Amino acid sequence: MFYPQIPSRQTETLRRGLPNSPIAAEQVEIVRLLTDPETFGGHAPAYFDTAVSHLFVNGSHLYVLRKPIDDDGFRCATVNERWDWCETQCMRGVSGFGVVAARPLPIVRREGRLCLGGPGSIRDWVLKITCESVTVDPGFITLRRAA
């Protein structure tokens, strides 16, 4: 079995509102969407903050929203650059995670509101990683799949 771990800074499920960590203005509404239980059929996702990403765990799915950063040669500052990052992870098979499946999902504006996936005007991209299981422990998210 493969148990990769992702260090995180926040380990609580959000009950209301937004996380305490700083969020870029262009992603506030997106983080609000991805922390809303209605986005995931009434199940509240766990939220985690890393130096470069917002992570949302819902069952066996991990959603990775890259922060809009441009630092020390690493660039994910635009929506197109975040799309490129998602595509690169999929082409690599997210092999470092040993995941079952990974695919980019658009965050779209449709009928005046944001939605995860489907038709609409693209506002950003998230990488959806599906594993056998995602375990949340203090300070770590562990992705698990069968050997």
pLDDT tens digit sequence for 63-82: 999 999 888 777 899 999 99
**Over 70: is that where the pLDDT of 11 sits?**
no
Q: Give the chain's mean pLDDT.
A: 80
- pTM of this prediction? 0.80
Q: What is the per-residue pLDDT across 37-57, written as a single tens digit (0 to 9) for each? A: 999 999 999 888 888 889 998
What is the number of domains present in the chain?
1
**Over 70: is that where the pLDDT of 119 sits?**
yes
More confident residue, 123 or 13: 123
The domain in which residue 45 lies consists of 5-144
Which has the closest alpha carbon to 135: 20, 8, 36? 8
Q: CA distances (Å), 47 to each of 12, 15, 68, 74, 147, in order?
A: 7, 10, 18, 23, 27
